[in-house]
Structures are given as structure tokens and as C-alpha cells.
Amino acid sequence: MRLALLAAMTLTLTASGSFLPAAAPKTHTVTIDATRYEPATLTVAPGDTVIWRNKDILAHTATSTVGVFDSKEIKPGASWKYVVPKKGLFEYYCTLHPAMKASLRVR
Amino acid sequence: MHMKRTVTFAIAGVLACAVPAAAQSINDAQIAHIVVTANQVDVDAGKLAARKASDADIRKFGQLMMSDHTGVNKAAVDLATKLKVTPEANATSTAIKEAGDKNLAKLETLSGAAFDKAYIANEVAYHQQVIDALDKVLVPGATNAELKALLVKVRPAFVAHLEQAKRAQASLGK
């Protein structure tokens, strides 16, 4: 029991400790509105979560140009979550409106 | 009614320096009717294309027009309801409806590549006209801030549709 409590405390410390090299995963939001992504370029770290929130009145997708991820259709008012697995520059677009483009920079 | 007209003209008069002449005679109820009519016309043409087009890209474009313009109309109707604005028929919305009906009648008689070509040519022209109307008449003419904001919000989608229609049209000949 005491051991479990100690472990929990250690975990809490690990999650918030700034002296540790690896930062805790963060959550970022990309807003989809008026047929565009905001921000158009988002920089995140591996393990972070990105949420695409569709505030537009039309359905859109967030689809990697090279097939790394695909939200499929995100309806108006809905959102889609993706945990970014690896480093790299990932360009994405809307398969419904290919003029909509943005990128995810993971480093 | 006369009173209301005068007020509309007075508001338009204030905007007159920045607004082309055509925008001065339009009110929000008429703009709402133009928006709903224009969207419905393209939903109907899209339905036909989704069913009749022989080219897969044209069918897909037709489906997108159905869903996107239905979405715009839902937002427009929701806003009109919220603002207690009853869309009011006018010469512009009547002309849009007549042109839409004429286009549908023509498309009904066509099939195969001829259908695809006629449908997409009309889509290119239609979206260009809608963008022009938004810029010159509807956005400058809208007095309610939320209505104006909705028109501004949907404009990029119409531009995207125009680009897609042009690309589909160009690839048809190949």
C-alpha cells in the first residue's frame, strides 16, 4: 500500500518535474473554420495529441498526403484526435476540399 | 411596408460610398432567400450528377455539392429562424431558380460524356457567379452582422468548389 502511494507520488513528480529531459505529452488543437486549418503549421513533439475541431458548417477531413493518418469525415461540430507517433514533417489536406492544406511539424 | 423600404434605403445610403449600386436595393430577408435558393439549385444539380454522371470524379463532385450546399442551407435557415427573418422572394432569387430549372431540364436530356461536360461547365459558371454576387451584392448588402459573417464564412468553400470544378472540367478532355 505504502509502496503504491510512493509509486504514485513518483509518477506525479515525473509528470510535472521540469528537471526531467522528456516533457509530458501535450494536447494541441487545430481549428477548422471557413474552409481552412488554424494554425496552418503546428509544431508538436512525438507522443503529443492533436485535436482537430470542426467549427465550420461543412464536413472536412485532415488527411496526410502520404497516408500516415486520415481523420475521415469530421462533421460540423465534431472533432478528431490523433496521437502523433514519430518525428517528421507531415503535410495534410482535406480530401473533400483539396485546396485546404496545412502541416504538422513533429520534433 | 413603405416605411420599411425607406429605412432599408437609408441604411444602404450610408454604405453607398463603399457599395456598388446593386446592393442598395436589397434587404436581409431577400439576401436570405437568394442564399437558400442558390444553394438548393446546386443541391438539385448535384443530386442529378451523383446519379447520372459517367465520370467518377464528376459523380464525387456532385455528391460534395449535395452535402456542402445542404450544410450551407442548414446554417442559413437556422440563422434566419434565430433572427426571425422570413426569407423574401425577389427578382434575383426568381432568376436563380429559373436558371436552375432550365439547367436541370437540359441535363435530364443528356447522358454520358455530354452530361458530364454540360454539368461541370454549369458548375464552373454557377460558382463564379455566386462568388461575384457575394462580393458585389450579398456581403456589402447584408445589414445584420451575423448574416454578413455567415456569408464571409462560406465564401472560401465556394472558391474551393470553383477550383475543383475547373480542375474536373480540365481533366474531362484528357
Residue B152 has pLDDT above 70, yes or no: yes
Chain A CB contacts of B159 under 8 Å are 35, 99
Residue A13 has pLDDT above 80, yes or no: no
The alpha carbons of chain B give a radius of gyration, in whole angstroms, of 17
Give the pLDDT band (50/70/90) at residue A15: very low
Q: List the grid coordinates of B41.
A: 439549385
Q: How far is B80 from B68, CA to CA, in rounded Å? A: 18
Chain B CB contacts of A56 under 8 Å are 153, 157
Residue B8 has pLDDT above 80, yes or no: no
- What is the pTM (predicted TM-score) of this model? 0.81
pLDDT digits (tens, 9 = 90+) for B88-144: 999 999 999 999 999 999 999 999 999 999 999 999 999 999 999 999 999 999 999
Cβ separation A33–B153 shorter than 8 A: yes
Task: State the Cα angle at B96 between B71 and A55, rounded to 5°.
Answer: 20
At B24 the pLDDT is 54
Q: Is B164 on the interface with A (CB under 8 A)?
A: yes
Find, among B128, B123, B131, the residue nearest to B50 by Cα. B123
Give the pLDDT band (50/70/90) at residue A19: low
Q: Is A34 on the interface with B (CB under 8 A)?
A: yes
What's chain B's average pLDDT?
A: 88
Residue A8 has pLDDT above 50, yes or no: no
Residue B10 has pLDDT above 80, yes or no: no
Q: Is A31 on the interface with B (CB under 8 A)?
A: no
Q: List the grid coordinates of B75.
A: 446554417
Which site among A33, A35, A75 would you substitute to test the B interface, given the most B Cβ atoms closer than 10 Å to its Cβ?
A: A35
Residue B74 has pLDDT above 80, yes or no: yes
Q: Closest partner residue to A35 among B64, B74, B157, by Cβ?
A: B157
Chain B CB contacts of A76 under 8 Å are 71
Q: Is A1 on the interface with B (CB under 8 A)?
A: no
At A23 the pLDDT is 77
At B173 the pLDDT is 73
Chain B CB contacts of A59 under 8 Å are 67-68, 71
At B56 the pLDDT is 95
User: Do you know the residue count of chain A?
Assistant: 107
Residue B30 has pLDDT above 90, yes or no: yes
Nearest-Cα distance to chain B for A89, in Å, is 25
Which site among B131, B134, B154 would you substitute to test the A interface, given the most A Cβ atoms closer than 10 Å to its Cβ?
A: B154
Find, among B170, B132, B111, B104, the residue nearest to B34 by Cα. B132
Chain A CB contacts of B61 under 8 Å are none
Q: Is B71 on the interface with A (CB under 8 A)?
A: yes
Residue B15 has pLDDT above 90, yes or no: no
Residue B12 has pLDDT above 60, yes or no: no
What is the value of ipTM here, to two decimals? 0.80
At B6 the pLDDT is 34
Per DSSP, the three-state class of B161 is: helix
At A9 the pLDDT is 46
Residue B85 has pLDDT above 50, yes or no: yes
Q: Is A101 on the interface with B (CB under 8 A)?
A: no
The residue-averaged pLDDT of A11-20 equals 47
What's chain A's average pLDDT?
A: 87
Nearest-Cα distance to chain A for B146, in Å, is 14
At A58 the pLDDT is 97
